[in-house]
Chain A
Amino acid sequence: MLPFVLFLVITVVGTWGELCLGRAMKETGELERLHPGHAASLLWRALRVKWIWIGVAMMAIAFFSLLLLLSFESVSFVVPVTAVSYLVGAIGGIFFLGERVSPQRWLGILLVCIGVALVVIAKR
């Protein structure tokens, strides 16, 4: 039971943490040009958006859950974790950030999932 809960926490909470960063950046504004000063001021403004800190906290929870899971499970679970996070990311993008994921993008995301799973399996 505990490994399953930790698996859920790592994939869902970890990916959702990144989605919160995405939300914070969307609320802050857009990088209009590739200029270091402009980028720095955008990031500085982003630090004042609550979603950044919620995202960082969620990513930290996911990281420590990963360490905990690694202490009693083998690394084989890394395959589903890394592959599933792309699907969780796309679903979160749609429902949390209001993004439109076209069939072509879905196909690309599925291929990335399969490719990443192959790479992780090959490395074992």
Chain B
Amino acid sequence: MFPAQCQVSSLVYHGLRRTFQALIARMHSRSHLKTYFLIAVMVIAGPIGNLLLAKGMKQIGEVHYWPPSELLPVFIRIFSSLTIWIGIASLIAFVVSFMLALSVADYSYVQPAAALGYFVIAVLGVLVLHEKVSPLHWAGIVVICLGVSFIRGTDPRTTESTN
């Protein structure tokens, strides 16, 4: 082969290789993006759902379970509350994104990463409920974030899909 031909084939080879690598990297980053998105929904929707349910039930006030005839009006009050419905919708969003996240990533990746929810709970507590968050509480959240950043550095999926 002439040197020029060698050069061209080497250029083509390296070009193709680089394109292929870029494509693979893109696919990987996309798949990671999907996992990050689903975990983000879990981390935000879970605490919001719990907060809204708690708030909605406080608006309902004290519930009397006896006599049983008391239950029907309570039931109607609970299910005519918009706060409670939005809370239920948030918790459904949490469960759905949890299951979808498990379809694309390891359980040992999703479960600890979802602990970022503790950060969202603290922020909601400060902003919405005007609660005080102690320094020890913030320290715990910093340690959680550090742990999640280590987990994020690992491959989200280490098993193959069975189908």
Size range of the interface on A? Answer: 35 or more
- Report yes or no: B150 in contact with A104, Cβ–Cβ below 8 A: yes
Assuming A102-B154, A105-B154, A108-B154, is B103 touching A115 (CB within 8 A)?
A: no
Q: Which residues does chain A contribute within 8 Å of B124, judged by CB atoms?
A: none
A81 to chain B minimum Cβ distance, whole angstroms, is 14
* Chain A window 93-124, contacts with chain B (Cβ cutoff 8 Å), 1 for yes, 0 for no: 11001111110110111111111111111110
Contact of B134 among A109, A115, A122 (CB under 8 A): A122
Q: Which residues does chain A contribute within 8 Å of B118, judged by CB atoms?
A: 115-116, 119
Contact of A31 among B104, B109, B115 (CB under 8 A): B104
Q: Which residues does chain A contribute within 8 Å of B34, judged by CB atoms?
A: 31, 33-34
Cβ-closest chain B residue relative to A109: B112
A48 at the interface (CB under 8 A from B): no
- Report yes or no: A112 in contact with B37, Cβ–Cβ below 8 A: no
Assuming A26-B162, A89-B107, is B100 touching A111 (CB within 8 A)?
A: no
Q: Which residues does chain B contribute within 8 Å of A113, judged by CB atoms?
A: 147
Residues of chain B from 110 to 143 with CB closer than 8 A to chain A in the complex: 110-112, 115, 118, 122, 134, 136-137, 139-143
Chain B contact residues, majority secondary structure: helix
A66 at the interface (CB under 8 A from B): no
Contact of A119 among B107, B109, B111, B144 (CB under 8 A): B144
Size range of the interface on B? Answer: 35 or more
Contact of A25 among B102, B136, B140, B151 (CB under 8 A): B102
- Report yes or no: A111 in contact with B150, Cβ–Cβ below 8 A: yes
A21 at the interface (CB under 8 A from B): yes
Cβ-closest chain A residue relative to B100: A31
Assuming A98-B159, A102-B154, A105-B151, is B111 touching A89 (CB within 8 A)?
A: yes
Q: Which residues does chain A contribute within 8 Å of B137, judged by CB atoms?
A: 118-119, 122-123
- Report yes or no: A21 in contact with B102, Cβ–Cβ below 8 A: yes
Contact of B136 among A39, A92, A105, A118 (CB under 8 A): A118
- Report yes or no: B150 in contact with A107, Cβ–Cβ below 8 A: yes
- B binding-site residues for A, Cβ under 8 Å: 34, 37-38, 96, 98-100, 102-104, 106-112, 115, 118, 122, 134, 136-137, 139-154, 158-159, 161-163
With contacts A102-B154, A108-B150, A115-B144 known, what are 13 further pairs, Cβ within 8 A?
A25-B102, A93-B108, A97-B106, A99-B107, A108-B154, A112-B151, A113-B147, A115-B115, A115-B118, A115-B147, A118-B139, A119-B122, A122-B136
